Structure 1
């Protein structure tokens, strides 16, 4: 509640006074700091967490990505992938969509770790429970960038919502590929 009201000081006071903290309370604090774009405090809290789950890691990945620090988001993403925690569609989508929104195509390829391997990107996309316009656009852009205009076009036609970036991806893809 305190974070929703923008009061991170009182939120922290309540958290610090808690006798028993579980993973849920730690993740709520972490999420509050991330939403307020206080990544310094979020990171300090993350480092102190006695236990972390995929929500903890995703909060850091998405927090850094939304704050424009894709390098740090990708560092957390790589650590998550190396850990035994596991990952989900939100782990990948967090890096993919925000970096795509920023036009950081090279960072997207690093995050995916498969320069040009669209089959893996498509498999992950197909496994996503929630696909927003940025996820669709990023995949369309990937196909267009690598010259697979047939796949880009088929996916583009299936998009329920299109934005200027998705249209531009198609136009530049057709222009680049003759």
Structure 2
């Protein structure tokens, strides 16, 4: 291309990140004459989804330090890191940042925070956040059911599951596998029959 603008640079960067070709993405990112929040978000999310958590955090911290601003997508990558690392301190820090930025009403970000808290075994924090969510989709419900099941609280998992306004195969599987994982085979089979 004889003329490249920020949009074309970001599209190429996004392509490399989606293909998990982080070496090329980083090389392109370093050559970019101008970077915006989309460029930085792309790098954070690319590294986070590839499991290179230290680099994702480095890019996220640099983005937050810059004065270019951030948006809801800026938190997506770092929340992926929180889920992968199961680090409670980081999860609480990011929760505070999402709250301060005013993005807690975003159901995807809130569900990701619920997931991060459940991965850390902090079911009380996960439940408080879930209870305060203005909108809950089937993913948010399933995430909490799955968290209770993972930590062996099948009573809470079953109670929450029964309150779900909408269920899908993933939510049913979360409950069934929770019963099975916790040595409650008869309950798992009864749930499977339902």
* Distance change (3 Å), C-alpha of 1:173 and 1:122: farther
> Mapping of 1:153-164 within 5 angstroms?
154-155=131-132, 159-162=136-139
Residues 56-75 of structure 1: per-residue CA shift (max 9 Å, x gap): 00000000011111111111
Query: Which of residues 132, 144, 147 in structure 2 aligns to 1:166?
Result: 144
Paired residues of 1:141 and 1:152 also in contact (CA < 8 A): no
* Distance change (3 Å), C-alpha of 1:74 and 1:113: farther
Query: Which of residues 84, 99, 117 in structure 2 aligns to 1:123?
Result: 99
Q: How well do the aligned residues superpose, as a CA RMSD in angstroms?
A: 3.4
- Secondary structure in 2 aligned to 1:127? coil
TM-score, length-scaled by structure 2 = 0.62
Q: Tell me the residue number matched to 1:33.
A: 16
Deviation at 1:159, TM superposition (A): 2.5
Q: Tell me the residue number matched to 1:65.
A: 48
Deviation at 1:105, TM superposition (A): 2.2
Q: Distance in 1 between matches of 2:28 and 2:152?
A: 43
Q: Tell me the residue number matched to 1:145.
A: 122
* Distance change (3 Å), C-alpha of 1:160 and 1:124: farther
From the CA coordinates, give the structure whose radius of gyration is larger.
Answer: 2
Q: Tell me the residue number matched to 2:86.
A: 105
Q: Distance in 1 between matches of 2:114 and 2:17?
A: 26
* Distance change (3 Å), C-alpha of 1:155 and 1:125: farther
* Distance change (3 Å), C-alpha of 1:153 and 1:82: closer
TM-score, length-scaled by structure 1 = 0.67
Q: Distance in 2 between matches of 1:158 and 1:113?
A: 21
Residues 68-127 of structure 1: per-residue CA shift (max 9 Å, x gap): 11111111000000111111111112220x23443x221x743x673xx85x25625852
Paired residues of 1:141 and 1:170 also in contact (CA < 8 A): no
